[in-house]
Amino acid sequence: DAKTTQPNSMESNEEEPVHLPCNHSTISGTDYIHWYRQLPSQGPEYVIHGLTSNVNNRMASLAIAEDRKSSTLILHRATLRDAAVYYCVSLFTSGTYKYIFGTGTRLKVLA
- Write the binding mask 30 to 49 for another protein: x where contact by CB under 8 A, - elsewhere: --x-x-x----xxxxxx--x
Least Å distance between CB 35 and another protein? 10
Q: Is 16 in the site for another protein (CB under 8 A)?
A: no
Angstrom distance (rounded) from CA 76 to CA 85: 17
Q: Is 101 in the site for another protein (CB under 8 A)?
A: yes
Neighbour-count burial of 51, counting CB atoms closer than 10 A to its CB (0-12 exposed, 13-18 middle, 19+ buried):
middle
Angstrom distance (rounded) from CA 34 to CA 50: 7
Binding interface with another protein (CB under 8 A): 32, 34, 36, 41-46, 49, 87, 91, 93, 96-104
